[in-house]
Amino acid sequence: MAWQFREGRMNVAGEGVNAGTLGLSDVFLKPLYHKIARQLEQQRVEGNAGNGAVRVVLSGKQSVIRISITPGVVYDVAALERLVAGAVEDALKKSHELIKREVKKQLGSSIPLPEDLF
């Protein structure tokens, strides 16, 4: 799921942080979240599996940009499925870390992010 700001909530991978519980107004947060979203859209993370046999590139907003598969792994469908799943999981993990870093950079360390954000 893409990262986005909607109705006072920052949604990341299906999770949300209610702006009201942080004690911050939407007037301050909404433009900040939009700025972060624009920055994340320009960034890329790459996940891989099988020593690079399958690579998945995501935008910082978790949109799939590209999937690359080495021809030699195409013939074993079950193995390929596992490799694709592993590469996607690796890319998502990296994108979660990227999002956390960008949000923390914009909000500063004075506003703690929930540990279970992802």
Q: Percentage of the chain surpassing pLDDT 90? A: 47
Domain ranges of the chain: 4-107
> What pLDDT sits at residue 69?
96
Question: Residue 111: is it exposed, middle or buried by C-beta count within 10 angstroms (0-12/13-18/19+)?
Answer: middle
Selecting from 3.40.50.300, 3.30.2350.10, 3.30.1310.10, 3.40.50.880, what CATH number does the domain 4-107 have? 3.30.1310.10
- Rg of the chain over Cα atoms, rounded to whole angstroms, equals 17
Average pLDDT over residues 48-57: 96
Average pLDDT, the chain: 80
Cβ count within 10 A of residue 47: 19
pTM of model > 0.95 = no
Average pLDDT over residues 40-47: 94
Ramachandran assignment for 23, one of left (phi > 0), alpha (psi -120 to 50 degrees), beta (any other): left
Model confidence pLDDT, tens digit, residues 21-42: 555 556 677 787 888 888 999 9
